[in-house]
Amino acid sequence: MHHPITPETRLAGMATRLYRRFFQPDDPHGWADYHCVEEPDGRFWIHTHGLRRWRLPELEFTGVPQDMRGHAHQLMFAIIEELKPAVATRAVGDIEGVFSAPGQNFRQMATLRPALREDTRHRNILRIVDWDRPVESGFPARLFASHIAAWAELADDPAQKEAMCRRALAIFPGYFLEMTAGADIDPHKADMSDLQHRANLSVYLSLAGALFAQGRPDEGIGYLEEAIARCPGWGQIHRGWLIGKYRRKDAFMNFWRDADIAEICARRRPANTTGPLPKLKRAASKKGKTRCVKRSA
C-alpha cells in the first residue's frame, strides 16, 4: 500500500518540523510525519512515519471524521509525549494522561493495539482505540469526545462552546451508569476521569453552562437533568455541595435547590438502569453549616 506524503496529506507543515529539528534535535516530533489518507467511506486513516528511529511505535487512528483531523493530530502528538519514556515493545496496552488542555479535571484513557497490515511501510503499527476496546473497534469516540470536552472548557464564547459540546455528544453521547456512580467524588477536588470516560459528564455540564450563559435556562436545565440521570450518585452529592456553598438565587441554583434526584432518574433513565441511590446523611460542620457526607449504601 503506497500513499505518497504530500503537503495536502501531511497534517503538520514542513516548516514546523524543520524548526523542531533545528532547535530541538532530540525531539521525535521534528522527525515524525502525520499522514492523512482518505478511506473509501470518506473518513480518514491518520498515521505516523518516522518514530521508529526513536524506538517509539508508529501510531494510527482509523475512521476519523473529516472535521476531526486536527484533533487527531493534537491527540497523537500528546500520546507520543506520553510514550517517550517507553520503547515500542512496552507501548502495547492501556495508556492514560492529560492529552488535551492544561488544568482539565479528568485524565484521558485509550488502548494501543497492534494493527495487522501486510505492507512493509506500515507493518508493526499500533492503532489507538478506546480504552479496553479491540483493534477492530476503530475510531476512539470516547477519547475524541473527551478531547473536545477539555477544549470546550477553554472557550470564552458560549455559542462556540455550545457548538463544540454538541459535536462531542454527536460523537459519543455517553452511557447511563449505575445509580451510585460519582457518589465518592470530592466536590472540592473533583476528578472526573471515570464519569467523563463512561458518561461524557463534562460535556453535558459544559453544554448546560453555555446555554445558561446565552439566556436559555430551560435548555440548560434539560442537560443538567441529563447529567444527573447518567450519573445519579454524582448528582446527589454535587447538589448537596452546591446548596451548602452558594446562597445566590438564579435559574441555575434554583434548579439545584429544587432538584429531586430520584424523580429525575425515574423520569429520564431507561427502565433497565434503575436501582437505589447511595444513602447520604447530613452532618454539621464546625461553622454550623451542613454538608453532605457519603455513607456506604
Same domain for 160 and 107: no
**Boundary (domain end) residue, out of 140, 167, 186:** 140
| Nearest partner of 204 among 178, 231, 184, judged by Cα | 231
Residues 120 and 162 in one domain: no
Residue 148 lies inside a defined structural domain of this protein: no
108 shares a domain with 161: no
Domain shared by 73 and 112, yes or no: yes
In the numeric block, which cell numbers belong to residue 88?
515500542
In this prediction, residue 285 carries a pLDDT of 40
Given 96, 115, 140, which residue is the final one in a domain? Answer: 140
Residue 220 domain flag: yes
Both 26 and 53 in a single domain? yes
In a domain, 84, yes or no: yes
Looking at the fold, whether 123 and 69 belong to one and the same domain comes out as: yes
Q: Does residue 55 share a domain with residue 159?
A: no
Spatial neighbors of 165 by CB under 8 A, at least 6 apart, are: 148, 149, 152, 203, 204, 206, 207, 210
Distance of alpha carbon 77 from alpha carbon 140, whole angstroms: 16
Mean pLDDT of 98-125: 84
Q: Which residues are within 8 A (CB) of 233 and not within 5 positions of it... i.e. 6 or more apart? A: 178, 179, 180, 181, 182, 183, 184, 277, 278
Residue 114 belongs to some domain of the structure: yes
Please report the pLDDT score of residue 286 as a whole number. 38
Query: Does 160 share its domain with 290?
Result: yes
Question: What's the structural domain count of the chain?
Answer: 2
Q: Among 117, 140, 163, give the residue marking a domain's end.
A: 140
In contact, 153 and 86? CB cutoff 8 Å: no
Cβ atoms of 269 and 259 within 8 Å: the answer is: no
Residue 97: burial class (beta carbons within 10 Å; 0-12, 13-18, 19+)? middle
- The answer as to whether 210 is a domain residue is yes
Does a structural domain hold residue 2?
no
Phi, psi angle pair for 263, to nearest 5°: -65, -40
Residues 159 and 278 in one domain: yes
* Domain assignment of residue 215, given as a range: 155-294
Judged against a pLDDT cut of 90, whether residue 73 lies above it is answered with no
Q: Are residues 161 and 222 in the same domain?
A: yes
CA–CA gap between residue 271 and residue 273 (Å, rounded)? 6
Please compute the mean of the pLDDT values over residues 108-137 and round it to a whole number: 86
Nearest to 201 by CA among 269, 150, 248: 150
Distance separating alpha carbons of residues 203 and 136, to the nearest angstrom: 26
pLDDT tier at 110, thresholds 50, 70, 90:
very high
Per-residue pLDDT tens for 132-181? 999 999 999 999 999 999 999 999 999 999 999 999 999 999 999 999 99
pLDDT of residue 297: 27
Local confidence band at 22 (pLDDT 50, 70, 90 cut-offs): low
Looking at the domain assignment, is residue 5 inside a domain? no
64 with 122, same domain?
Answer: yes
CA–CA distance, 273 with 179 (Å, rounded to integer): 8
Are 285 and 166 contained in the same domain?
Answer: yes
Residue 33 confidence class, pLDDT cut points 50, 70, 90: confident
Residue 18 lies in a domain: yes
Query: Do residues 94 and 109 touch, judged by C-beta distance below 8 A?
Result: yes
Phi, psi angles (nearest 5°) of residue 167: -65, -40
pLDDT band at residue 204, thresholds of 50, 70 and 90? very high
Confidence band (pLDDT; 50, 70, 90) for 128? very high
| Res 52: pLDDT | 76
Q: Residue 191 pLDDT more than 90?
A: no
DSSP tally for the chain: helices H, then strands E: 11, 8
Buried b (16+ CB within 10 A) or exposed e, 116-126: eeeeeebeebb
Rounded to an integer, the average pLDDT of 180-209 is 92
In this structure, the strands spanning 280-284 and 125-130 are unpaired
How many angstroms separate the CA atoms of 1 and 277, rounded? 54
* CB proximity list for 237: less than 8 A, separation 6 or greater: 182, 183, 185, 187, 278, 280, 292, 294
